């Protein structure tokens, strides 16, 4: 009989109903691969696309809405106060309850804005793997967010070396790993690419003489750099009448999206841009373009769009920042990196690729081969196996006795159990008090008339006293009940 695999709870910060972001794709791929080593449980904030995919793959899912701490990504100076506020919400108690009940061997947290699962696991003595998909904003206070991650993560996994640059070297010794996501070209349906290219171009009125630049994003907002691309395309369109731009994505910022469309119309080439909604079937869109542009204005943690473009055998031109710099350098395409925000340099690179068909096809072929070698499934599994082999042996936490919990947590649990026993026995300390809260002070006298300012529940103490009298646990007269609860509740006590 095969021994049971240890359980790993994987916390996703997002679970969009329709649009799947790059971070969600990377996490789902990792979950599929981790099933060889762990019994994976995917925890999502709501039911959505990756939850459906996980259940279809036989992975257990749990829906628990855990609030995010955006201040972690923004490197806010008040990030600790923000997390403290989140820990006073009911979701924090539900999270602790889930982890106590399941007692997983490991907790895996995705993205820097999802600190609560890591903090809860650390409180309960459960080891934590923290996966970082983004580069935290560069501010004078970034060390605060980085310190929170370093203090609560047993292992830190980054999608690219750029993501780890925010930590001091001594904080990464022996516990950091770079595990970039992978794409299986076979899942992109390469046999359908010629037909998909011909069909979409026919629908848009473009033939094979048309040279198309593609921009794809699950969600479009300012940092994606669409405005800069439109500006670059204005220069390109003025010199190349055959140039076209295909934009595919869902506008997360409708005002920004419409401003980009109006800019194109005002420049006189609005009819040369196709605006399409985002679709999960990128294999029906990307084959129709000739070059993929990724003009991200912020340091991407990785940049799945760039890797997807290479896997579709398309040259990729991108701004030189974050994970985009790492991807194009690793695949031998560093010459197609341009300074961040430089629209003219972007236009020049695009124009050079569109002007030479033979060179463009050769660059695309070499880029696809390098992407397979560096970021293909075989390379990914080798990195993942090396990472798992470096993890300390952990006994399945469901078999760990309570004595393995930190002493402070054991003390809290004992006190909670004791209070529960006292409450169930009708101890006088809990009479008139609302369950779970200390209540507010009200004036009244105790049994001897000497107690004043006794604490009662916010709903008033008379109801609790009345219930106790019905059970025969409160002796004496109604006067005694009135003395405990105050004159305002006399009519309730009499009833």
CATH number at residue 78: 3.40.50.2000
Q: Does one domain contain both 354 and 275?
A: yes
Q: How far apart are CA 364 and CA 336, in angstroms?
A: 12
Give residue for tokens 């990472």.
Answer: 387
Whether the CB-CB separation of 63 and 107 falls below 8 Å is answered with no
Domain range for 229: 185-375
Q: Which two tokens stand for residue 111?
A: 């993205």
Residue 1 included in any domain: no
Strands 455-456 and 440-441: antiparallel
Length of the chain: 495
Residue 33 included in any domain: yes
Q: Does one domain contain both 298 and 202?
A: yes
**How many distinct structural domains can be found in the chain?**
3
pLDDT digits (tens, 9 = 90+) for 454-467: 444 444 444 444 44
Residue 248 included in any domain: yes
Q: How far apart are CA 357 and CA 244, in angstroms?
A: 15
Whether the CB-CB separation of 353 and 338 falls below 8 Å is answered with no
Q: What is the pLDDT of residue 452?
A: 43
Q: Does one domain contain both 233 and 365?
A: yes
Give 294's DSSP letter: E
- If DSSP codes are grouped into helix, strand and coil, which group holds residue 450? coil
Residue 483 included in any domain: yes
Q: Does one domain contain both 250 and 189?
A: yes
Residue 2 included in any domain: no
Whether the CB-CB separation of 340 and 297 falls below 8 Å is answered with yes
Q: Does one domain contain both 58 and 170?
A: yes
- Among 187, 194, 167, 186, which Cα is nearest to 178's? 167
Q: Does one domain contain both 209 and 115?
A: no
Whether the CB-CB separation of 400 and 103 falls below 8 Å is answered with yes
Most distant CA atoms of the chain, gap in Å: 100
Strands 60-63 and 155-158: unpaired
- Among 103, 163, 162, which Cα is nearest to 131's? 163
Q: Does one domain contain both 126 and 140?
A: yes
Q: Does one domain contain both 38 and 135?
A: yes
Whether the CB-CB separation of 446 and 484 falls below 8 Å is answered with yes
Residue 406 included in any domain: no
Q: Does one domain contain both 290 and 221?
A: yes
| Burial of residue 431 (number of CB atoms within 10 Å: 0-12, 13-18, 19+) | buried
Phi, psi of 88 (to 5 degrees): -95, 0
Whether the CB-CB separation of 195 and 171 falls below 8 Å is answered with no
Q: What is the pLDDT of residue 25?
A: 84
Q: Does one domain contain both 204 and 352?
A: yes
Q: How far apart are CA 164 and CA 162, in angstroms?
A: 5
Q: Does one domain contain both 22 and 87?
A: yes
Q: Does one domain contain both 56 and 167?
A: yes
Q: What is the pTM of this model?
A: 0.71
Q: How far apart are CA 135 and CA 122, in angstroms?
A: 23
Residue 191 included in any domain: yes
Average pLDDT across each block of 10 residues of the chain; the chain has 495 residues. List them in order: 82 86 86 94 93 93 95 94 95 96 95 95 96 89 94 93 88 89 88 95 94 93 94 92 94 94 92 91 94 92 90 95 89 94 94 93 94 92 93 56 55 75 70 51 43 44 46 45 44 43
Residue 410 included in any domain: no
């Amino acid at each position: 009989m095969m021994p049971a695999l240890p359980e790993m709870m994987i916390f996703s910060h997002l679970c969009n109903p329709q649009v799947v972001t790059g971070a969600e794709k990377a996490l789902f791929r990792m979950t599929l691969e981790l099933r060889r080593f762990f019994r994976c449980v995917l925890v999502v904030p709501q039911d959505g696309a990756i939850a459906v995919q996980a259940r279809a793959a036989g992975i257990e899912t749990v829906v628990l809405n855990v609030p995010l701490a955006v201040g972690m990504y923004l490197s806010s100076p008040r990030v600790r106060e923000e997390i403290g506020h989140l820990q006073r919400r009911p979701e924090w108690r539900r999270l602790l309850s889930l982890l106590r009940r399941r007692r997983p061997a490991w907790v895996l947290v995705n993205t820097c804005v999802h600190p609560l699962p890591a903090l809860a696991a650390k409180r309960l003595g459960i080891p934590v793997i923290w996966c970082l998909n983004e580069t935290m904003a560069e501010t004078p206070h970034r060390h605060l967010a980085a310190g929170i991650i370093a203090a609560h993560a047993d292992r830190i996994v980054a999608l690219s070396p750029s993501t780890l640059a925010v930590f001091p070297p001594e904080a990464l010794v022996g516990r950091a790993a770079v595990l970039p996501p992978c794409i299986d070209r076979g899942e992109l349906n390469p046999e359908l690419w010629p037909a998909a290219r011909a069909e979409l171009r026919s629908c848009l009125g473009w033939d094979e003489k048309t040279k198309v630049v593609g921009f794809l994003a699950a969600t479009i907002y300012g940092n994606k750099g669409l405005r800069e691309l439109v500006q670059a395309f204005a220069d390109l369109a003025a010199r190349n009448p055959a140039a076209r731009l295909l934009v595919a994505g869902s506008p997360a910022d409708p005002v920004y999206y419409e401003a980009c469309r109006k800019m194109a119309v005002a420049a006189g080439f609005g009819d040369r841009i196709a605006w399409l909604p985002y679709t999960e079937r990128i294999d029906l869109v990307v084959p129709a373009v000739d070059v993929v542009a990724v003009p991200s204005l912020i340091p991407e943690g990785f940049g799945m769009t760039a890797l997807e473009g290479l896997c579709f055998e398309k040259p990729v031109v991108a701004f030189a920042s974050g994970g985009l710099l790492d991807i194009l350098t690793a695949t031998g395409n560093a010459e197609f990196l341009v300074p961040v925000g430089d629209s003219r340099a972007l236009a020049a690179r695009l124009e050079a690729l569109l002007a030479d068909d033979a060179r463009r096809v050769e660059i695309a072929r070499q880029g696809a081969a390098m992407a397979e070698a560096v970021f293909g499934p075989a390379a990914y599994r080798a990195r993942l196996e090396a990472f798992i082999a470096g993890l300390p042996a952990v006994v399945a936490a469901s078999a760990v006795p309570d004595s393995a919990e930190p002493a402070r947590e054991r003390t809290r649990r004992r006190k909670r159990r004791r209070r529960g026993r006292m409450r169930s026995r009708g101890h006088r300390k809990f009479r008139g008090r609302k369950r779970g809260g200390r209540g507010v002070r009200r004036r009244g006298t105790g049994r001897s008339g000497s107690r004043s300012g006794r604490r009662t529940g916010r709903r008033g103490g008379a109801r609790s006293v009345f219930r106790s009298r019905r059970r025969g646990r409160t002796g004496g007269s109604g006067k005694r009940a009135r003395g405990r609860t105050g004159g305002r509740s006399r009519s309730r006590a009499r009833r």
